[in-house]
Amino acid sequence: MQLSARELAAFLQGTVEGDPNVKVSRPSKIEEGGEGTISFLGNMKYEAYAYTTTASVLLVSNDFQPAKPVNPTLIRVPDVYAAVAQLLEQFGQQAPTTATISEAASIHPDANIGEGVSVAAMAVIEEGAQIGNGSIIMGQVYVGKDVKLGENVKLHPGVRILAGCEVGDNCIIHANTVIGSDGFGFAPQEDGSYKKVTHVGNVVIEQNVEIGACTTIDRATMGSTIIREGVKLDNLVQIGHNVEVGAHTVIAAQAGVAGSTKIGKHCRIGGQVGFVGHVQIADGTQIQAQSGVAGSVDEPNQALFGSPAIGYRDYIRSYAVFKQLPELYKKLRRLEKKLEDQ
């Protein structure tokens, strides 16, 4: 696919500076460039590359003022990162393929397969499963008994959706993710052993959710573990039993959420954040990477940092002090010695 700078500007609702007829066929990183590519300058730390890049077209913000001559044709847009998202979606589109069901797939005769569904080789679809129109089931996917998939769901290779779980329309689940595994529940016994607590609930994933590779979402003990509309989960995220993640919350890689925790809407959770169980996290909470959340967050739109997590600004001020503790301790010891010598 080739597009001219003029066509791209119209698509991105931007303005052209330079040759509007120059054509590009793929995106590139600004430091790599290449003739016939389009790149972008979204972070001014990379401004130096704007003057050396060999890309044919460069996306910049409306307020970018070059300090030196720039060789590529510029397309100015109000929001560079939003434009890049549109651009990558455009270049990432693949030609539509004919819906096919592989002879090497195993589909139970009592499964309900919608129109335009693709099922690849070695996929397994069990009894009572419902697959919505236009969904794509890639190789070695397992769809368990009575699972419900909405329309236009895309399951990448190796995904496991276990019995009774539900996935809404337009969801994307990446490779080797497991939905509906048993939660981590064991009752201590008098002899010191542990008895497994049977989990009879399910997982409900609402529409427009995207889940990264190798993530696990445990089924509820009773009721449902719920991932609300528009949630984005990174790779290697662990969601415990009976957790609820609010609409349009994003959680980065290696975060772990213990059972029965309720995370609000529009929260932003950094990588390797850990939550204890049975806490409530208010809407709009932002949590810095590697923080530990040991209690409920009642006030919305707070930024937290640390382990246990405290207010972000409080943590930064505290860090400025405690990183000096070794030197302060030496000074204290010297003062104590002077007092002892007097």
205: exposed, middle or buried (Cβ count in 10 Å: 0-12, 13-18, 19+):
buried
Give the amino acid at 148: K
Q: What is the DSSP letter of 101?
A: B
- Do the beta carbons of residue 208 and residue 171 sit within 8 Å? yes
* Unique residue bearing structure tokens 């096919």: 100
Q: Which residues form the catalytic set?
A: 241
* Unique residue bearing structure tokens 């400025």: 320
Residue partners of 222: CB distance under 8 A and separation at least 6: 200, 201, 242
Alpha carbon distance 198, 59 (integer Å)? 54
Give the residue among 149, 226, 145 at the shortest CA–CA distance from 137: 149
Alpha carbon distance 134, 121 (integer Å)? 17
Cβ atoms within 10 A of the Cβ of 198, count? 9
Alpha carbon distance 192, 299 (integer Å)? 40
321: exposed, middle or buried (Cβ count in 10 Å: 0-12, 13-18, 19+):
exposed
* Unique residue bearing structure tokens 């090497």: 104
Alpha carbon distance 224, 166 (integer Å)? 10
- Do the beta carbons of residue 237 and residue 254 sit within 8 Å? yes
